[in-house]
A and B are shown apart, each in its own frame.
Chain A
Amino acid sequence: MLRTNLILLLIAAACALGTVSSNHRARKLFTEFEREQNRMRELDVEWGQLQLEQSTWAGHARIEQIARDKLGMRPPAPAQVISLEAVK
């Protein structure tokens, strides 16, 4: 009788400790999850900023100006354009 009780007591103690440690682990994982989510938000913001930067550098006005002034490009004259039949 006493032996059974002792064993049950030990099992109960082990379970209690297990709960504590798993709770701790859950909280740690949650903190990590939280950190990753923050990182996601930061990256999203950064992505937006990079898109903005790309749009600014690749602006049509800027491209046209560089093409015309720096590279000396111009639209082809109609006679220089060869149009090909689309392959059906």
Chain B
Amino acid sequence: MKFAKSPILNRRLSPGRSRLVVLALLSGFVVLAGRSLYLQGFDNGFLQKKGESRYERVIEISATRGRIMDRHGDVLAVSTPVKAIWAIPDDAQLAPAQARQLAALLEMDVRELNRKLASDKDFVFIKRQIPPDVADRIAALRLPGIHDQNEYRRYYPSGEVMAHVLGFTGVEDAGQEGVELAMNDMLAGKDGSRRVIKDRRGHIVEDVESIKAPQEGKDVTLALDAKIQYLAYSQLKKAMTDNKAKAGGVVVLDAKTGEVLALANAPTYNPNNRVRLVGAQLRNRAFTDTFEPGSTFKPFTAAYALESGKFHFDTPIDTSPGRLTIGNATIHDAHVHGVLTLAEVIQKSSNVGAAKVALKFQPEELWRVFSSLGFGAPLNLGFPGEVGGRLRPAKNWRPIEQATMSYGHGISVTLMQMAHAYMAFARDGELIPLSLTKVDAPVTAATQVFSSETAHEVRSMLEMAVQPGGTAPRAQIPGYRVAGKTGTAHKLDGGVYAEKYVASFIGFAPASDPRLIVAVMIDEPSAGKYYGGDVAAPVFADVMAGSLRTLGVPQDVPLKPLIMAEAVKEGV
């Protein structure tokens, strides 16, 4: 039977029923259309987000740490990308052969590798700071559960020469010592991230938004002169060996700008390979170690004596019989000099003379001078671990302390502080702040400590100390006028002065218009000689001569054969 002839079709239905069906279907469509209109037009955020998440990616943009350069732009520290190999131990089911292969590429012991992979953590570093080519070869092995990630490694081409100034960074590329720590905020880059759209092949086709802009680390240009630094380091190293010394430091300052041109310490270390590192090697002695300066301190006493008007360049001071008893303590001179002028007290480094001068003043007056020269407070160069030394409040000074302080005992200073304070003599009585970074602007923040006349007179005394009849003829440099002062201080050992010495020399040249200040400190020279004039002065002369030549400073005396007189022994 055909469908058309079906009797059911002949039955008449009420029109209301078909209309109801049509209405029901229609309203169904209206709901659908309304819903789609709502999703497309009014509340489209959710779907759009879902859609975008199918092809949008957030990618990290890593920022590199800034470079450190010397004043001429030579690179002293630079970061280059390396890889870290890490594993998910649960996924890393390596066959013994694979493990051996991996261990060989990583140059590590198979047992150590297996021990790391047996860890129950979700994430272990297998080895960090791997050269990129090795990491590529490991990636080519396609080992399960073994991954790599980018990181940076810092290289120091100058190695041990600059180790103390530059410091170093840890595996996370954050500064841990020296300039790397002091200027970490500037050097460190900040990683950024951005949202992008990637196509099927992984190419980035559109930048959606920058979530966090990356901040590249800034390059730092130090005041350091690599050539002078090398000179200072090599001369210090030589002196260390020759004198069998325990430690030592050399500082070179530019008297015109306050820049630190060189800062060498010994013993040192290689920042590129810090496997066997001990604390003594890490110490930046010029900043973090204090010592009793000894006679290098006398010029400050003399300068104040001149400044006060109570003494003049040639005021006679009776130093006989070479000792002076105050209370139950006695101050000695190495030689009996008799009557000396103030200038000769400095030239021949008489302790008795300096003490007699100092006792003519109130403790407060001397304290104020020493304090204004920067003693007793850190220089605030931002160097980690920088100390200020010890300058006790004047009201606690007993007369014997006031006397010993005049020749640099009973007070502790850093080498950097001493070099800085000598700037007052090199710069006509004014002090300017030191700078580790290159200075381009003219110096503005100068403080006048002594008058210009006083500075010139002390300068003449310091020149006398280097000439025949002084304590340091070995500090002379052909072609230049040199001014400086030796220091030989007993070391305190368990609260008493021992037969151990710190030999030092601080001076500047050319004396007619000082350009450089060089400070040398040799700790515990034990090869027989221990006087500053024998141990530290030759280092000073070599570093100063080389530096002046490097900088092309014009000579200020005609060349004539050096008069090498036997040094006058200074009081210790």
Contact = CB atoms under 8 A, between A and B. Distances in A.
A70 interface: no
Nearest to B70: A55
Contacts of B64: 44-45, 48
Interface string B199-237: 100011111000000000000000000110010001000
Nearest to A54: B75
A81 B479 CA distance: 10
Interface in A20-45: 26-27, 30-31, 34, 44-45
Contact of A86 (B161, B234, B554): B554
Interface string B62-106: 001001000000111011110000000000000000000000000
B479 A83 contact: yes
A59 interface: yes
Contacts of B76: 55
B157 A83 contact: no
B161 A27 contact: no
A59 B157 contact: yes
State the main secondary structure of chain B at its contact with A: mixed
B161 A61 contact: yes
B74 A55 contact: yes
A30 B554 CA distance: 58
A81 B548 CA distance: 13
A55 B159 CA distance: 11
Interface string A54-88: 11101111001000000000000011010101100
Contacts of B559: 78-79, 81
A52 interface: yes
B234 A48 contact: no
A27 B206 contact: yes
B397 interface: no
Given A49-B80, A60-B226, A78 B479 contact: yes
A59 B229 CA distance: 12
Contact of A31 (B75, B81, B205): B205
Contacts of B207: 30
B224 to A, nearest CB: 13
A52 B206 contact: no
A52 B78 contact: yes
A51 interface: yes
Nearest to A35: B203
Contacts of B192: none
Contact of B230 (A26, A61, A86): A61
Nearest to A79: B559
A45 B207 CA distance: 24
A51 B206 contact: no
Nearest to B229: A60
A48 B80 contact: yes
B129 interface: no
Interface of A: 26-27, 30-31, 34, 44-45, 48-49, 51-52, 54-56, 58-61, 64, 78-79, 81, 83, 85-86
Given A30-B207, A78-B559, 15 more contacts: A27-B206, A30-B204, A31-B203, A45-B64, A45-B81, A54-B75, A55-B74, A55-B76, A60-B227, A61-B161, A61-B230, A61-B234, A83-B554, A85-B554, A86-B554
11 contacts: A26-B206, A27-B206, A30-B205, A49-B78, A52-B80, A55-B76, A60-B230, A61-B234, A64-B234, A78-B559, A81-B559
Q: Which 6 A-B pairs have the closest CB atoms?
A: A55-B157, A78-B478, A60-B230, A27-B205, A51-B75, A48-B78
